[in-house]
Amino acid sequence: MEKTLPPIPVKRYFTIGEVGELCGVKPHVLRYWEQEFTQLRPMKRRGNRRYYQHHEVLMIRRIRDLLYDQGFTISGARNKLQELVQGERDRRKAGVVPLEGMEAVEIDQEEFDAAIIHQEEDKTGPEAEPKTAPRTVDPSQLLHLRRELFEIRELLTVGR
């Protein structure tokens, strides 16, 4: 019964009909889920027409998976979704920012330093730079850089 959902096109807003097709759910079900899941708040315009953004389509797919594929009740799915959202917030605050569809990678500082040293040793020949002491990377600098990249990513996704 596993139905593959179509890819989400790159656009700013989706109508309720489009979201229904992208998520395999009828529009009346989406309207009901809005009442049950407080995180799901599409923008409403003229005539109370709903316009969903990309992150809301992803959330609807997650809700659908919890209810239809994993067998959660509405209440259980609501709690699980809240746990997932809170866990994601905690990871972002800690500076762990996985890219969409990819897992976060933890870097061991010793392995990272050894890789830099190894790269420096591999440089030979006339074009090689003079040997210098390996650069050390301050973990707080990496954390700061990671947060900056996350902010840039957020700015880019808002512009979709």
C-alpha dihedral (66, 56, 153, 80), degrees to nearest 10 = -30
pTM score: 0.57
* Domains by residue range for the chain, with CATH: 14-93 (1.10.1660.10), 109-158 (no CATH)
HEC sequence for 82-128: HHHHHHHHHHHHCCCCCCCCCCCCCCCHHHHHHHHHHHHHHCCCCCC
Residue 112 has pLDDT above 80, yes or no: no
Q: What angle do CA 6, 45, 26 make, to 5 degrees?
A: 35
pLDDT in tens, 49-94: 999 999 999 999 999 999 999 999 999 999 998 888 888 888 878 8
